[in-house]
């Protein structure tokens, strides 16, 4: 897919998480994110935990076995809480993780649940101090009278220890549920978005944030749309976008004014009247928005499609990819089982030439923008032998089912891939099924 021939094949690399079918609620993966070098991969789950995997140093002798990701650090980021004023439970589920650009030897990430954002430092320690004056190393106290000289502790090498420590807690700024956080390219601020508001924070200041977007109507009965996702432009520190449940994306310029309720660009595709139905508005709701690495394009995911927009063209997307068009006839049952409200995320590959997003039945889709080719792959235990090549899957939308095709009716809607991530440079992808994290990579010939 990356090469000119476009014959890139994906093969299985690793799977993380429990094997048995009995899934504990807390183990359900709720977000996946590579850091800026791709050396670290973080996942968050419904139990409020963050697990970080580190890529092992590549083994030069066996190029076909590329570096694997192993657990580097696991920590409890959020705990369940109770808001006594509003009688509301606050789930510990990690909604989003965002890595900060590396500033020193330690790594930093932001994690958020519905209400509170935390800044975590992940650092290594390979030395420990040794030597007390008044006690032995094992803690027994010495007789103070035996002290004849002073001893300064010395640092001695020890096994590598990875520590995660909370550095900042950004709380009490969101009335509604936080759906997005995004770090600004100025390295000092980030935004957090909930259903109706977007706040701007300085990474060093926790007691103050600036409200930059507020779409809450004076009368909540007049509420017609909510913010579903928001992201900063990767290069221009003053530009950010937010998407709405009505399928529009607004681009705001913070240079124009401190409050960005007035957008500077509105991206919206006119609705196709022939496709209008009861579900039109629900399925046009945007579940994720991501800028391309070069900042020229942005990608949005709605229920049935992925759209690529050129920032210079507001009236329609430059590319539209159908993710699972065959579900259009199933919307009624998907509405009944609430699947229609699933929030699928999407991601770009390192050079913005391919995009990836998830679907049902543990399928995930890739679209090659240059060659207009698409591919359906499956994350499953069946093809999880080392370096096993993933076979493209096909769903048959009706009519006669060919060999190797899967009928729409046999898709399992409980198995869904909502969160995926692509290594920032290499062809390594991380795909979260319910409670497993699959890592695939391109086949090295």
The stretch among 5-13, 67-75, 234-242, 295-303 that binds another protein (CB under 8 A) is 234-242
445 interacts with another protein by CB under 8 A: no
Q: Is residue 245 within 8 Å of residue 230, measured between CB atoms? A: no
- Binding residue for another protein, selected from 80, 83, 88, 151, defined by CB under 8 A: 151
- Binding residue for another protein, selected from 5, 144, 157, 273, defined by CB under 8 A: 144
Which CB sits closer to another protein, 130 or 405?
130
425 interacts with another protein by CB under 8 A: no
- Binding residue for another protein, selected from 237, 339, 396, 397, defined by CB under 8 A: 237
150 interacts with another protein by CB under 8 A: yes
Q: Which helix (H) or strand (E) covers residue 334, if one does?
A: helix 331-336
- Binding residue for another protein, selected from 37, 67, 102, 211, defined by CB under 8 A: 102
71-75 contact pairs (CB < 8 A, 24+)? 71/16, 72/40, 72/122, 72/162, 73/122, 73/162, 73/163, 73/164, 74/49, 74/50, 75/49, 75/50, 75/120, 75/164
105 interacts with another protein by CB under 8 A: yes
- Binding residue for another protein, selected from 26, 88, 154, 318, defined by CB under 8 A: 154
Residues belonging to the chain: 445
Which CB sits closer to another protein, 167 or 415?
167
- Binding residue for another protein, selected from 87, 145, 274, 445, defined by CB under 8 A: 145
Least distance CB 98 / another protein (angstroms): 16
Residues 176-215 that bind another protein (CB under 8 A): 185-188, 204
Q: Which two tokens stand for residue 24?
A: 């504990």
- Binding residue for another protein, selected from 236, 245, 320, 388, defined by CB under 8 A: 236
What is the DSSP annotation of 204-253? T-SS-EEEEEE---SSGGG----EEEEEE-SS-TTEEEEEETTS-EEEEE
238 interacts with another protein by CB under 8 A: yes
Least distance CB 19 / another protein (angstroms): 37
195-200 contact pairs (CB < 8 A, 24+)? 195/226, 195/227, 196/223, 196/226, 196/227, 197/227, 198/227, 198/230, 198/240, 198/242, 198/260, 199/173, 199/174, 200/254
Instruction: Count CA atoms within 13 Å of residue 285 on its CB side.
Output: 18
143 interacts with another protein by CB under 8 A: yes
152 interacts with another protein by CB under 8 A: yes
- Tabulate helix, strand, coil % of the chain (nearest 5): 10, 40, 50
Listed in sequence order, the residues at least 6 apart from 109 whose beta carbon sits closer than 8 Å to its beta carbon are 33, 35, 42, 50, 97, 98, 99, 100, 119, 120, 122
Least distance CB 154 / another protein (angstroms): 7
- Measured distance CA(327)–CA(241) in Å, rounded: 29
Binding mask 241-280 for another protein (x = CB under 8 A): -------------xxxxxx-xx------------------
Backbone phi and psi for residue 281, each to the nearest 5 degrees, phi listed first: -70, -40
Residues 111-140 that bind another protein (CB under 8 A): 121, 123, 125, 127, 129, 132-135
Q: Which residues pair with 192 in a beta bridge?
A: 181, 199
Nearest in space to 390 (alpha carbons), one of 411, 365, 414: 365
Binding mask 61-100 for another protein (x = CB under 8 A): ----------------------------------------
The stretch among 145-153, 345-353, 355-363, 395-403 that binds another protein (CB under 8 A) is 145-153
The stretch among 35-43, 101-109, 221-229, 395-403 that binds another protein (CB under 8 A) is 101-109
**DSSP 8-state symbol, 303:** S
Which CB sits closer to another protein, 260 or 286?
260
**DSSP 8-state symbol, 424:** S
Which CB sits closer to another protein, 24 or 205?
205
Number of residues located near another protein, criterion CB under 8 A = 48
Q: Which two tokens stand for residue 166?
A: 């909370």
What residues make contact with another protein under the rule CB under 8 A? 101-106, 108, 121, 123, 125, 127, 129, 132-135, 143-155, 163, 167, 185-188, 204, 235-238, 254-259, 261-262
């Amino acid at each position: 897919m990356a090469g000119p021939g476009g014959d890139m094949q994906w093969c299985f690399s690793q799977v993380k998480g429990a094997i048995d079918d009995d899934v504990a609620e807390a183990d359900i993966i709720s977000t996946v994110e590579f850091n800026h070098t791709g050396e670290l991969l973080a996942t968050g789950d419904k139990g409020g935990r963050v697990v970080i995997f580190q890529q092992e140093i590549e083994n030069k002798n066996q190029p076909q076995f590329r570096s694997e990701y192993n657990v580097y650090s696991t920590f409890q980021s959020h705990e369940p809480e109770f808001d006594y004023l509003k009688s509301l439970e606050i789930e510990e589920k990690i909604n989003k993780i965002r890595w900060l650009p590396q500033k020193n030897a330690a790594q930093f990430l932001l994690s958020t649940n519905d209400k509170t954002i935390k800044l975590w430092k992940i650092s290594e320690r390979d030395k420990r101090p040794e030597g007390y004056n008044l006690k032995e190393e094992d803690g027994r106290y010495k007789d103070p009278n035996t002290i004849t000289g002073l001893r300064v502790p010395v640092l001695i090498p020890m096994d590598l220890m990875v520590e995660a420590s909370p550095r900042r807690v950004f709380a009490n700024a969101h009335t509604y549920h936080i759906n997005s956080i995004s770090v600004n390219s100025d390295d000092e601020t980030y935004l957090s978005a909930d259903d109706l508001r977007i706040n701007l924070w300085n990474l060093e200041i926790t007691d103050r944030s600036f409200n930059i977007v507020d779409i809450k109507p004076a009368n909540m009965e007049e509420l017609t749309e909510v913010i579903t996702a928001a992201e900063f432009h990767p290069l221009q520190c003053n530009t950010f976008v937010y998407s709405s449940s009505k399928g529009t994306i607004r681009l705001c310029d913070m240079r124009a004014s401190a409050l960005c309720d007035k957008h500077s660009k509105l991206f919206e595709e006119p609705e196709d009247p022939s496709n209008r139905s009861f579900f039109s508005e629900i399925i046009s709701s945007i579940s994720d928005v991501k800028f391309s690495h070069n900042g020229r394009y942005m990608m949005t995911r709605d229920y049935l499609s992925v759209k690529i927009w050129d920032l210079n063209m507001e009236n329609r997307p430059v590319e539209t990819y159908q993710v699972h068009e065959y579900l259009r006839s199933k919307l009624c049952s998907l509405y009944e089982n609430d699947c229609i409200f699933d929030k699928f995320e999407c991601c770009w590959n390192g050079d913005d030439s391919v995009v990836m997003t998830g679907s049902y039945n543990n399928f995930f889709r890739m679209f090659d923008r240059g060659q207009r080719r698409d591919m359906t792959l499956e994350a499953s235990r069946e093809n999880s032998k080392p370096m096993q090549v993933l076979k493209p899957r096909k769903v048959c939308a009706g009519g006669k089912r060919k060999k190797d095709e899967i009928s729409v009716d046999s898709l399992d809607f409980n198995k869904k891939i909502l969160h995926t991530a692509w290594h920032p440079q290499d062809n390594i992808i991380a795909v979260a099924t319910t409670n497993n994290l699959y890592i695939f990579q391109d086949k090295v010939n």
